Chain A
Amino acid sequence: MGMLPGYTTGDILHPEGRYGGKEVSRMRPIAVDGNEAVARVAYRLSEVIAIYPITPSSPMAELSDEWAAKGEPNLFGLVPRVVEMQSEGGAAGALHGALQEGVLATTFTASQGLLLMIPDMYKIAGQALPGVIHVAARALATHALSIFGDHQDLYAVRPTGWAILVSDSVQAAQDLAAVAHITALKASLPVLHAMDGFRTSHEVQKIVPLSDRELKALFPFGALEAYRRRALTPEAPVIRGTAQNPDHYFQNREAINPYYLRLPQVVAETMEHFAQVTGRRYAPYEYFGHPEAERVVVVMGSASLAVEEAVEYLLKRGERIGMVRVRLYRPFQGEAFLASFPPTVKRVAVLDRGKEPGAVGEPLFQEVAAAFALRGGEVPLLVGGRYGLSSKEFTPAMALGVFEELKKERPRHGFTVGILDDVTGTSLSYPQVDFEDPASVRAVFFALGADGTVSANKNTIKIIGEETPLYAQGYFVYDSKKSGSRTVSHLRFGPNPLNKPYLVQKASFVGIHQWSFLERLPMLEVAEEGATVLINSPYPKEEVWDRLPRPVQEEILRKNLKVYVVNAYELARRVGLPGRINTIMQAAFFKLSGVLPEEEAKARIKKGIEKSYGKRGRSVLERNFQAVELGFEAVEPLPIPGRITSEKELVPPMVDHPPAFVREVLGPIALGLGDALPVSAFPPDGTYPTGTARYEKRGIAEFIPTWDPQVCVQCGKCVLVCPHAVIRAKVVPEEALAQAPEGFPHRKAMWKELNGEFTLAISPDDCTGCSLCVEVCPAKDKQNPSRKALNLVPRLEVREAMSRHWDFFLSLPETPRAGLKLHTVKDVQLLEPLFDFPGACAGCGETPYLRLLTQLFGDHLIVANATGCSSIYGGNLPTTPWSKNKEGRGPAWANSLFEDNAEFGLGMRLALDKKAEYARELLKDFRQVLGEELVERLLAETGPEEVGKRRRDVAFLREKLKDLADPRAKDLPAVADALIPHSVWIVGGDGWAYDIGYGGLDHVLASGANVKVLVLDTEVYSNTGGQASKATGLGAVAKFAAAGKPTPKKDLAFMAMSYGHVYVAQVAMGASDAHTLKAFLEAEAHRGPALLIAYSHCIAHGIDMAKGLDHQRLAERSGYWPLFRYLPGQGLFLDSKPPTLPLREYLYAENRYRLLLQTHPEEAEAFLKAAEEAVRARWERLSRMAASKEAVAS
């Protein structure tokens, strides 16, 4: 194969190297994703960058922060100032301010973040300021949140006055990023540049990078000078941002019109100039197709590449069709747009990746329709339709369906494509056509998130894309679980460009990196006839065939697949990288795919490893090198007997007698087959049943705990810490065990007050194997102190018996709540949790608090949950851990947004109170019917302890009113539930409580309302990958604080205590479970607002999650996280003893602090001193407060 045209290999701009390296006229290609491609340009063309994390745009901000921490200069030799704000609204405000001062400023965002920027966007546009926002376009939260890509967010800001440029590929995203910055300056208007979230932002592609020289050649220095002159300065003072009256606002608003009239021309000129400098040509509106086309599709973004493939396909078949790709969506320049069409056009379909319910058509359609209408003359037949919401696949075949529809006598308007709409019948059908390039290698890898497969695949793309003339593309699909998650990598390599914005449709190579997937997922469906399949098998190759499920054997035989096996787990262990099979599987892929000659492949993989891991030291390198060699050596062909020998069927995704909805709707979603579900399957308002995670037995742990009743002291600590609620305890009457399955473990209950048998059960297929329980277990076998009451064993050895035990355990009666001492951990373990099996990270530090919350108050609990980790493991379909008891009661849960959660919870509280008030009013009107006694009981004040009685009274009330005709007799039962005491808990992480939602939280606490706030404080934005929040500790390394967080953690507790009426507690379950329990009970009992700040160890701390509780203890012992409670009217109780552990012994036990030692050792030393001082000062202040019982230390 020859070199690709357009580049030379002489000069390389290292992807991670200094910008402005040696300049060449054509840069050597690099393989990067859309986020990096855009950030490389935005960073170089900016002086101030305001950032805030939001998926899928966060990596652009993270890269900017990393480059700034490293001292990387921009195009003008200056290191941009990268500043994290408290919200996207804050970022937009900072952007607006920076623009007042005439600097080059940008930000990155998506979705809800962009919505929060709207007010500033209007101001920036109204003041003709050349700001730039790069957007990884994403769906909006409506009936549900979605992090995936579509154009709803772009459409939401279309009236703000910003120009909007839309890219369709990684290459275009880089290039139009530059066009955006240049246009903003030249046109003196702000520009929003968007790429499709995930599809482009996260797709790794081979692109030609923009050199500094090219950027300098393009950069409008003259316009910059003019812009600088508009900066605010006391040397030539002006005012901007006045208030105006009816007589002049209107005219002034019209004064900016010439800017908008000019902008499309500026874009066109800039694109033309860009083509001259780089050789890559873009236009605001691009036509592709037959010169005399009659049917034309209009489309924007990555889908245009799929339409383009369909157009090519139809052109070859002689059809008179074409397409228009919209790159400049705002200002929508009708004339230029229309001029791109051939005059022969008769029918036009406009595709919108968005939805505007109630409009005559979606936003792009409206634009197109208006443009044609305004032109006058003969207007073609126009229809519009929706596609691709939330990254729904859009393939060339779907585009064929649209062209087909246009042929019909009456093409549908308002159609959808890519789904089956069996409710309103909007969906188009489309043919099954293979658009894969037979000259390409198409590989699909199914793997566990933790095994490194995606990293290795990204590395493979870099190797092939950057060091060979082949084209390379990679796209990665992740599920929504944080433990035991599944990843599917879609890779294409080949001699022809791979602009295919959709998943691999037909794979020539399938990598099955996790054996257990074979039992569940139909992975070979994607394999083409004769494809190569590589299986990572824990079994010897002689056993593999017989162990495959029947459908897998069938597919192998039917498609004549070539199957290879390798025991990568064993090899990984052998080289000292247990669980990390990535390098071995990567080597095996290279060997089997033959993309490169073997020796060259080895050398290049090793070079790649050196690049990725070299900085981490020699020993790490050597182990990976060994893995490469082993991967090449150990892969062997699987002997296939030519007949089916297995009777094993695939395991269904939902087990244990799931209800129909769970089986038929949530089941396919769990398998990754949700695409096949029709519209009618879904609840229109996005309301879902709870208690569904229990049907999804994932069986992800390799080792699980088993219980030894003889050693156990029945303390309940394991139950309390289990993040996944897979360990349960009960005390039951002895006779209840009569039917117990063989070996069901139990022992006499060690309670004074409880008679019966104590039993502890563990769900083997729900356990994640985190081993927190084993770590916390204090009971050791006196004969063999290396054994505890809980000991880890291989799951497969015990799962059958343990599953039987678990099922029997669930059938046992709950221990009666009455008589239990809720202030003791020992008794609380016996309470049924109503939050079970969350897909949180194995060993999560947050979920034990939530489980405890449901054990204590679950049957009368309403939760307002801020967006973040807890809303994802709590509410990301397919299933939810929030569950119900046998009576069908349990927590009711809702999520509104990230920023409004405290207000959201307050609204619930106000509504409940109001409903109760109204119900009490109505009660008085029905005294006669209901009887005096019942009414009086219902009118009486009651607390949570009376919930059961009150429920019975409400049931009486309903019964008595049910036959009355009075409309108020209908309304009273409808609101009567509010007479039952409810506990409203507002739950969220520190990103919400300390940053984006702080204003609301503060207001809600100040309001005095009876709401309880639980802050799951991980000290970073965990859900988006560990960005610093104001809860992050001084000197901790986090994203957005790559050089260590320079300021101390915000003291949220002090702020809340300053009101005097707020119950405040700082807890850490690992430091004292009894203290945590006490604080929960006190918070609930307090008649007013309560704030619990709960230390939540997190994967983003860089710790061994099994030791999470130890880290909590260290945090407390070092004085970093003192335990205290502030009781209004009683003052502060400092519950920790004075610190005894040097702070460094806590901090440097965690990678987040140790990293700074490794990257900025001198600064680390200074931070440590400052942190020690801050801890000391805080301890003194708390001590003074505790001694004097005053609200806030003087």
Chain B
Amino acid sequence: MDLRTTYLGLALEHPLVASASPLTERLDGFLRLEDGGAAAIVMHSLFEEQVTLEEEMLDHYLHYGHESYAEALSYFPRAHEYRLTPERHLNLLARAKERVSIPIIASLNGISRGGWVEYAQLLEEAGADAIELNLYYIPTDPALSGAEVEAMYLDTIRAVVESVRIPVAVKVGHAFTAFAHFAKGVEATGARALVLFNRFYQPDLDLETLSVVPTLSLSRPYEALLRIHWIALLYGRVGLELALTGGVHSGKEAAKGFLAGAQVVMMTSAVLEKGPGHFRTVLEELKAFMEEKEYASVGEMRGVMSYRKVAEPAALERANYLRVLGSYRLLP
């Protein structure tokens, strides 16, 4: 059975990839993911805001209370240099590249155009095999239209693609009015892959303190359905590789992903819950499925359940919708 695949031009032993997670915040996390059987690793994101925030905090605390009182002109030793987030991140990436043999895809989450390009180049220099742009923007301004947001996204992607030599993937959330159209736009920028979909931190309300608290719960398998659905819709219709991320917990979701047309399937929540060795488990489950269905390779099963042969996927979708509604009516 041939599990080999390529993603972003990188040759992978199999199509299961570790998506961005806190595991890569330490070097041993990379090693554990490789040992656990991941075929490639997406490193946790370099957040431009975090970089700026860290700089500001450092500046603030190195200044706070200084030169105010004769006995304590400062409260911290002067350091020769500060290795701030970008440098630490890049160092970790470079060290990880030395230690693991599987490809490492750097992830970047910027806010300014300058930041996107600068950090993308730095990640490339540090040895990233590819870059995943994590486009996470909550358009709260009522004056801002969807078209403007999309144009902003595409503009950013293009700027990065033009500034680096390594392949670029784009990770987005699903909240688009016309996602297929947007995907075509991404294709036109020169990006190589689309990663579907980001999961968002959902603010919760604390009923005790009447305050807003950020939460992030780990994904559940049902969440894979939305992604599988969109991969099936896009496969073969856009010139982009499609990566499934979100809700993959077992070989089942993985198999569905490939059948829908995914180039690779990514996992985080299940790995955080069960440990990096879970890659091997899912791979075994995938193999068992392929054996049962007699698929000789991933390539053979990829996209067989996509909608590319359907002339009007929307019509098909609407029909399915009606069917679901009908099934509810039949319930006792």
For residue B329, CB closer than 8 A to chain A, the reply is: no
For residue B26, CB closer than 8 A to chain A, the reply is: yes
Q: Nearest-CB distance from A69 to chain B (Å)?
A: 7
Are B84 and A1158 within 8 A (Cβ)?
yes
Stretch at the interface among A275-283, A511-519, A1035-1043: A1035-1043
Are A615 and B70 within 8 A (Cβ)?
no
Are B76 and A198 within 8 A (Cβ)?
no
Task: Give complex CA distance A450, B74 in Å.
Answer: 11
Task: Give complex CA distance A1039, B211 in Å.
Answer: 38
Are A1025 and B72 within 8 A (Cβ)?
yes
B57 (CB) vs chain A CBs: closest residue: A1151
For residue A133, CB closer than 8 A to chain B, the reply is: no
Q: Which A residues are in CB contact (< 8 Å) with B65?
A: 449-450, 482, 841, 1099
Are B70 and A478 within 8 A (Cβ)?
yes
Task: Give complex CA distance A768, B48 in Å.
Answer: 34
For residue B292, CB closer than 8 A to chain A, the reply is: no
For residue A1024, CB closer than 8 A to chain B, the reply is: yes
For residue B66, CB closer than 8 A to chain A, the reply is: yes
* Residues 47 to 106 of chain B near chain A (Cβ within 8 Å): 51-52, 54-59, 61-84, 88, 91
Are B75 and A482 within 8 A (Cβ)?
no
Interface residues contributed by chain B, number (CB under 8 Å) = 38
Task: Give complex CA distance A1042, B55 in Å.
Answer: 19
16 residue pairs A–B, Cβ–Cβ below 8 Å = A55-B70, A56-B70, A66-B80, A70-B79, A449-B69, A455-B63, A455-B66, A455-B67, A478-B68, A480-B70, A615-B81, A616-B82, A617-B51, A1025-B75, A1102-B61, A1152-B76
Task: Give complex CA distance A841, B84 in Å.
Answer: 28
Q: Which A residues are in CB contact (< 8 Å) with B62?
A: 616
A1160 (CB) vs chain B CBs: closest residue: B83
Beyond contacts A55-B70, A450-B68, A620-B59: 10 other A-B pairs, Cβ-Cβ < 8 A, are A56-B70, A59-B73, A455-B67, A617-B59, A620-B56, A778-B209, A1026-B76, A1100-B76, A1102-B61, A1158-B58
- Taking each of A65, A1152, A1157, which has the highest tally of chain B beta carbons within 10 Å of its own beta carbon? A1157
Q: Which B residues are in CB contact (< 8 Å) with A1157?
A: 88
For residue A1022, CB closer than 8 A to chain B, the reply is: yes
- Taking each of A778, A1022, A1023, A1151, which has the highest tally of chain B beta carbons within 10 Å of its own beta carbon? A1151
Task: Give complex CA distance A481, B69 in Å.
Answer: 7
Q: Nearest-CB distance from B126 to chain A (Å)?
A: 15
A1039 (CB) vs chain B CBs: closest residue: B77
Task: Give complex CA distance A615, B54 in Å.
Answer: 12
Are A1159 and B67 within 8 A (Cβ)?
no
Q: Nearest-CB distance from B21 to chain A (Å)?
A: 16
Provided the pairs A147-B71, A478-B70, A1037-B76 are in contact, do residues A617 and B63 lie with their beta carbons within 8 angstroms? no
Q: Which A residues are in CB contact (< 8 Å) with B68?
A: 448-450, 454, 478, 482, 485, 487
Q: Which A residues are in CB contact (< 8 Å) with B61?
A: 1102-1103, 1151
Are B77 and A1038 within 8 A (Cβ)?
yes
Please list the 4 inter-chain residue pairs (A to B) with the smallest Cβ-Cβ separation, ordered nearest first: A449-B68, A617-B55, A1025-B72, A454-B67
Are A617 and B84 within 8 A (Cβ)?
yes
Q: Nearest-CB distance from B136 to chain A (Å)?
A: 20
Are B77 and A69 within 8 A (Cβ)?
yes
Q: Which A residues are in CB contact (< 8 Å) with B81?
A: 615, 1159
Q: Nearest-CB distance from A325 to chain B (Å)?
A: 27
Q: Nearest-CB distance from A510 to chain B (Å)?
A: 19
Are B55 and A620 within 8 A (Cβ)?
yes
Provided the pairs A617-B59, A618-B55, A620-B59 are in contact, do residues A1102 and B76 lie with their beta carbons within 8 angstroms? yes
Are B77 and A452 within 8 A (Cβ)?
no
Are A198 and B72 within 8 A (Cβ)?
no
For residue B330, CB closer than 8 A to chain A, the reply is: no
Are B75 and A1102 within 8 A (Cβ)?
yes
For residue B210, CB closer than 8 A to chain A, the reply is: yes
For residue A242, CB closer than 8 A to chain B, the reply is: no
Are A780 and B52 within 8 A (Cβ)?
no
For residue A476, CB closer than 8 A to chain B, the reply is: yes
Provided the pairs A59-B73, A780-B210 are in contact, do residues A616 and B83 lie with their beta carbons within 8 angstroms? no
Are A1158 and B67 within 8 A (Cβ)?
no
Q: Nearest-CB distance from B102 to chain A (Å)?
A: 23
* Residues 452 to 506 of chain A near chain B (Cβ within 8 Å): 452-455, 458, 476, 478, 480-482, 485, 487
Task: Give complex CA distance A287, B68 in Å.
Answer: 40
Are B67 and A449 within 8 A (Cβ)?
yes
Q: Which B residues are in CB contact (< 8 Å) with A1022?
A: 72
Q: Which A residues are in CB contact (< 8 Å) with B66?
A: 452, 455
Are A1099 and B75 within 8 A (Cβ)?
yes
Task: Give complex CA distance A618, B80 in Å.
Answer: 17
Q: Nearest-CB distance from B265 to chain A (Å)?
A: 30
Provided the pairs A1099-B64, A1099-B65 are in contact, do residues A1155 and B76 lie with their beta carbons within 8 angstroms? yes
Q: Which A residues are in CB contact (< 8 Å) with B88?
A: 1157-1158, 1161
Q: Nearest-CB distance from B206 to chain A (Å)?
A: 10
Task: Give complex CA distance A622, B210 in Å.
Answer: 38
Chain B residues near A (Cβ < 8 Å) = 26, 51-52, 54-59, 61-84, 88, 91, 209-211
Contact mask A1155-1184 → B, CB, 8 Å, 1/0?
101110100010000000000000000000
Q: Nearest-CB distance from B235 to chain A (Å)?
A: 41
- Taking each of B63, B75, B80, which has the highest tally of chain A beta carbons within 10 Å of its own beta carbon? B75
Provided the pairs A147-B71, A455-B66 are in contact, do residues A1161 and B91 lie with their beta carbons within 8 angstroms? yes
Q: Which B residues are in CB contact (< 8 Å) with A832?
A: none
Q: Nearest-CB distance from B30 to chain A (Å)?
A: 14
Q: Which B residues are in CB contact (< 8 Å) with A1026?
A: 72, 74-76
Are B84 and A1023 within 8 A (Cβ)?
no
Q: Which B residues are in CB contact (< 8 Å) with A485?
A: 68-69
For residue A580, CB closer than 8 A to chain B, the reply is: yes
For residue A377, CB closer than 8 A to chain B, the reply is: no
A1025 (CB) vs chain B CBs: closest residue: B72
B82 (CB) vs chain A CBs: closest residue: A1158
Q: Which A residues are in CB contact (< 8 Å) with B74?
A: 1025-1026
Among A66, A448, A487, A1102, contact of B64 (Cβ-Cβ < 8 Å): A1102
Q: Which B residues are in CB contact (< 8 Å) with A780?
A: 209-210
For residue A294, CB closer than 8 A to chain B, the reply is: no
Q: Which A residues are in CB contact (< 8 Å) with B210?
A: 780, 782, 785
Q: Nearest-CB distance from B53 to chain A (Å)?
A: 9
Are B52 and A619 within 8 A (Cβ)?
yes
Q: Which B residues are in CB contact (< 8 Å) with A65?
A: 77
Q: Which B residues are in CB contact (< 8 Å) with A1151?
A: 57-58, 61, 76
For residue A859, CB closer than 8 A to chain B, the reply is: no
For residue A62, CB closer than 8 A to chain B, the reply is: yes
For residue A751, CB closer than 8 A to chain B, the reply is: no
Task: Give complex CA distance A458, B66 in Å.
Answer: 13
Q: Nearest-CB distance from A83 to chain B (Å)?
A: 15
A65 (CB) vs chain B CBs: closest residue: B77
Are B211 and A55 within 8 A (Cβ)?
no
Q: Which A residues are in CB contact (< 8 Å) with B69?
A: 449, 478, 480-482, 485
For residue A539, CB closer than 8 A to chain B, the reply is: no
Are A617 and B54 within 8 A (Cβ)?
yes
Are A619 and B75 within 8 A (Cβ)?
no
For residue A221, CB closer than 8 A to chain B, the reply is: no
Q: Nearest-CB distance from B94 to chain A (Å)?
A: 13
Contact mask A1011-1048 → B, CB, 8 Å, 1/0?
00000000000111110000000000111111000000
Are A66 and B77 within 8 A (Cβ)?
yes
* Residues 592 to 630 of chain A near chain B (Cβ within 8 Å): 613, 615-620
Q: Nearest-CB distance from A869 to chain B (Å)?
A: 9
Are B55 and A619 within 8 A (Cβ)?
yes
Task: Give complex CA distance A487, B62 in Å.
Answer: 18
Among B26, B51, B56, B70, contact of A198 (Cβ-Cβ < 8 Å): B70
Task: Give complex CA distance A1026, B88 in Å.
Answer: 26
Task: Give complex CA distance A1155, B84 in Å.
Answer: 9
Task: Give complex CA distance A618, B119 in Å.
Answer: 13
Q: Nearest-CB distance from B166 to chain A (Å)?
A: 23
Are B72 and A70 within 8 A (Cβ)?
no
Provided the pairs A487-B67, A487-B68, A619-B56 are in contact, do residues A1155 and B73 lie with their beta carbons within 8 angstroms? no
Q: Which B residues are in CB contact (< 8 Å) with A455?
A: 63, 66-67
